[in-house]
Amino acid sequence: MSHRVLIPVDLQAPPILPAGVVAHSLSGRTMGTTWSVQALAARSVAQETIAAAVEAQLQRVIDEMSTWEPGSHISRFNRAPAGSWHALPEGFFTVLDAALTMAVDSEAAFDPTVGPLVDLWGFGAGSVQQGAFRPPDAALLEATRQRCGWQRIVLDRTQRKVQQAGGVHLDFSGIAKGYAVDRVAQALRECGCVSWLAEVGGELSGQGVKTDGQPWWVALERPPQDDSPGMVVALHGLAIATSGDYRRYVDHDGHRYAHTIDPRTGTPVRTAPASVTVLHRQCMVADALATVLTVLGEEAGLSFARERGIAALFITREADGFRESLTPALAAMLE
């Protein structure tokens, strides 16, 4: 199958690789998914050093932001009494600050307080679904919605602390994986890697070139049944994130309930594109934007992305297959 090639319009020439670099390939499990790293470094940088740096950053994200870990910072905050204040570690603060900024800009299409709704629909660590899936009744849905709302978060940016308003349940599932990729990339840089491709659960960040001088070519993810010609992008100084309704979902009474919750309605997104892929310099931002554009849907999502110069690919299901829509920022990258 032929592929269309994407080259970032502002791509700067990657630095020339120093002589004698060694290629390293590492992988493992984290955050309920997998991670992988391909990295080039001087011979003096041991693979064990690279692996330890990567795993330390991934564990840090888990310790701070995993709702599946009862001892994490986010889980302790979610259980805390009303009115209590909580000092935040740097990573937690960075992600919460970015999530609130995204909530404002998207007019609540992104909301880090959506955790109770994620649990209500059976997709979270505290799922209330028992046995076979069933949509919650209207009264329970409305009661759960009342616990949510990013406006309930009081964040003291000066002192880097947040107040628990009472029953607020943070959930960073739409942004933390991307942040983890950014932290892995930073760890690789700090331990002496000169070029790399870092991936966590399908979200990626690339820097530099491979030993043959070629960029890190990455295929844009497509739904499993979509056999149309794909796209590859030269991932240098760039990150990529995809949100797809095929990743986690439940089929019930002829309807697909995907794991992405629309905070504005409290229900799984019903008219979402099959997938949305976003390219951005920060994987954390790409991850959050992929969620936002999925919630907004194709028409409103394309408008949102065009206004902000976001490079995004929408793939929408139709009766006879799939249809793709590119934002101008992505179309400008086609060679």
Q: What is the pLDDT of residues 10-23, one digit of tens each?
A: 777 777 788 889 99
SS3 111: coil
pLDDT at position 20: 87
Residue 76 in tokens: 């302790």
Is the pLDDT confidence value at 85 over 70? Answer: yes
193, 39 contact by CB (below 8 A): yes
Where do runs of H (alpha helix) occur along the chain? 47-65, 73-79, 90-105, 115-120, 138-145, 176-190, 283-308, 328-331
pLDDT at position 130: 56
pLDDT at position 257: 65
Mean pLDDT of 140-163: 94
99, 72 contact by CB (below 8 A): no
Q: What is the pLDDT of residues 175-199, one digit of tens each?
A: 999 999 999 999 999 999 999 999 9
Residue 59 in tokens: 């564990």
Closest CA to 40 of 212, 252, 270: 212
Mean pLDDT, the chain, whole residue set: 91
pLDDT at position 17: 86
Single-letter residue type at 115: G
Q: CB within 8 A of 101, min separation 6: which ones? A: none
Q: What is the CA radius of gyration of the chain?
A: 20
Mean pLDDT of 257-285: 88
Residue 29: other Cβ atoms inside 10 A? 9
Q: What is the pLDDT of residues 54-72, one digit of tens each?
A: 999 999 999 999 999 999 9
The answer to whether the Cα torsion of 54, 24, 198, 281 is positive or negative is positive
SS3 161: strand
SS3 73: helix
Indicate the CATH number of 73-163 among 3.40.50.2300, 1.10.10.10, 1.10.3980.10, 1.10.150.20.
Answer: 1.10.3980.10
Domain range list for the chain = 73-163
Q: Residue 271 gets which letter from DSSP?
A: S
Q: From CA 178, how far away is CA 216, in angstroms rounded?
A: 18
Single-letter residue type at 155: L
Closest CA to 203 of 63, 30, 3, 67: 30
Closest CA to 207 of 239, 176, 183: 239
With bands split at pLDDT 50, 70 and 90, how would you rate the model's confidence at 1? very low
SS3 19: coil
Distances from the Cα of 270 to the Cαs of 9, 222, 255, 256, in angstroms? 34, 19, 9, 8
φ, ψ dihedrals at 72, nearest 5°: -70, 165
pLDDT at position 126: 61
With bands split at pLDDT 50, 70 and 90, how would you rate the model's confidence at 9? confident
Q: What is the pLDDT of residues 299-308, one digit of tens each?
A: 999 999 999 9
Residue 25 in tokens: 């390939």
Q: CB within 8 A of 313, min separation 6: which ones? A: 220, 231, 275, 276, 277, 324, 325, 326, 327, 330
Ranges 76-90, 93-107, 117-131, 209-223: which has the least confidence: 117-131
pLDDT at position 228: 80
Closest CA to 298 of 318, 276, 267, 320: 276
